[in-house]
Amino acid sequence: MKQITGIITTVHANAPVVASSLAPDNLRGMTTTAEGDRVTTVMCGTQLRSVIASVDDYLMNLAIAEETSSLPRKKQDESRE
């Protein structure tokens, strides 16, 4: 069987937060790391359709993680009101 490997690297203002948001959804054969302002995900698989579906899911999750990581945070005192 052939091994299919892909690497996706993206740049974010808060890369560690984005990476930690994505990591729980990683499937077998996926790793996500943050270094500086970059998030890198490596995907490996043996079936092209599965890898493509994983990339599609990952990109949707990435968009959501990026959007939520850039939302303003409430101060602790405001959240108790």
24-62, pLDDT tens digit by residue? 999 889 999 999 999 999 999 999 999 999 999 999 999
Q: What is the mean pLDDT of the chain?
A: 89
- Percent helix, strand, coil in the chain, to 5, is 45, 25, 25
With beta carbons less than 8 A apart as the criterion, state whether 18 and 66 touch. yes
State the fold for domain 4-70: TATA-Binding Protein (3.30.310)
| pLDDT for res 79 | 55
pLDDT tier at 69, thresholds 50, 70, 90? confident
Proportion of the chain above pLDDT 90, given as a percent:
77
> Two tokens at 48?
């092209």
